[in-house]
Amino acid sequence: MNIPMVDLKAEYELLRSELEPALLSALAATQYIGGPNVRAFEQEVAAYCGVGHAIACASGTDALLLALRACGVQPGDEVITTPFTFVATASTIAMCGARPVFVDIDPKTYNLDPEKVEAAIGPRTRAIVPVHLYGQPAHLEPVAGLARRHGLRLVEDAAQSFGAEYGGRKSGAYGDLGCFSFYPSKNLGAFGDGGMVVTDDGALAEQLRVLANHGSRQRYHHSVLGYNSRLDELQAAILRVKLRRIDAFNAARRRAAHAYNARFEGHGLVTPHEDGRGLHVFHQYTLQSDRRDAIQAALTAAGIASAIYYPIPLHRQELYGDAYQGVALPVAERVAQKVISLPISPTLTEAAIDRVAEAVLGA
């Protein structure tokens, strides 16, 4: 039997008795745009994250774009972020007309290295966007201190870390704004695309709502250039069901990750690092090995999925041409050649973990 990266079918079967009535109720209500489930989901996420406001939108990419726009990022500005992440973290900066400034990563957590951030701050810097990669919260305290000292906005890319914690706060609630993705494979995943921005700042929340609604506060009155970015009612109904299970599901992911760690101990593999500053929720379980390609081939031969997040650091992507030709980020460049992510989900069984570990160790 094949083992997928995340077993969405098993998760659906586990929640079927709750998901189907919620969907049927939303369908029968016929309020598909901006309905009661969307409003309730925003309130529930805000309460869960411990913030005053949660603004639903169409995707995690839109969440980042809306957050940057709300922060006033505009052409000519610079935004500091990591090169070792999904492209949307940086492409949304470019969509605002700004320039991503890439800073190298911590070799253990793979997150933005706070010790390298200050040197990247310049007169055009408007914001810093750390990413909580693989579900491990970035080290935010020193970055937040720099942001305050230099008058910059701190925008958390929390797309991979719903339910994680840092410094006693939920992921997304530490900075000025926190951005989530509800892509189906995420810890809190919809049955399609979806996103959300959370904040304690009422003025930013108002800007976000206007930007997400065609730049409009009043129907047919448009004050700024905005977007059509909505979370639909059916996805909100699904996410409300899943939100009730998020802590239990994250705990199951952590158990699976620690079971992997036990099996790989003493075998020369670099297992995920938990820095002890918060709660890692293992959106991905990522190993580092010089034998990455052999391990992936062995997994494929055994019918086991794997993935490489991410094989090309953003400053080396074709879309930028020669713009970063002289930029050297050796840690990100080295790590990109060695990482491999293994199957992990709340429903992953001990038997499946054994099979995966056997294939990895036999490569």
The pLDDT averaged over each successive group of 10 residues in the chain (363 residues) is 95 98 97 95 98 98 98 98 98 98 98 98 98 98 98 98 97 98 98 98 98 92 94 97 98 98 97 95 98 98 98 97 95 98 98 98 95
Residue 203 tokens read as: 């003025």
Residues 215 and 339 in one domain: no
Question: Does a structural domain hold residue 287?
Answer: yes
Residues 102 and 202 in one domain: yes
Query: What's the rounded Cα separation, in Å, for the pair 128 and 210?
Result: 23
Query: What's the rounded Cα separation, in Å, for the pair 335 and 108?
Result: 10
Query: What's the rounded Cα separation, in Å, for the pair 86 and 91?
Result: 9
pLDDT value at residue 218: 86
Last-in-domain residue among 243, 259, 294? 243
Residues 189 and 135 in one domain: yes
Question: Does a structural domain hold residue 141?
Answer: yes
- Map tokens 């009043």 to a residue: 218
Question: Does a structural domain hold residue 168?
Answer: yes
pTM of the predicted model as reported, rounded to 2 decimal places: 0.97
Is residue 146 within 8 A of residue 129, CB to CB? The reply is no
Residues 74 and 200 in one domain: yes
Nearest to 112 by CA among 90, 132, 86: 132
Query: Which value, to the nearest 10 degrees, does the dihedral of the CA atoms of residues 77, 81, 86, 90 take?
Result: 10
CATH of the domain at 214: 3.40.640.10
Residues 275 and 140 in one domain: no
Q: 290: domain range?
A: 246-362
- The phi-psi region of residue 87 (left if phi > 0; otherwise alpha if psi is between -120 and 50; otherwise beta) is alpha
Question: Does a structural domain hold residue 1?
Answer: no
**Total of domains in the chain:** 2
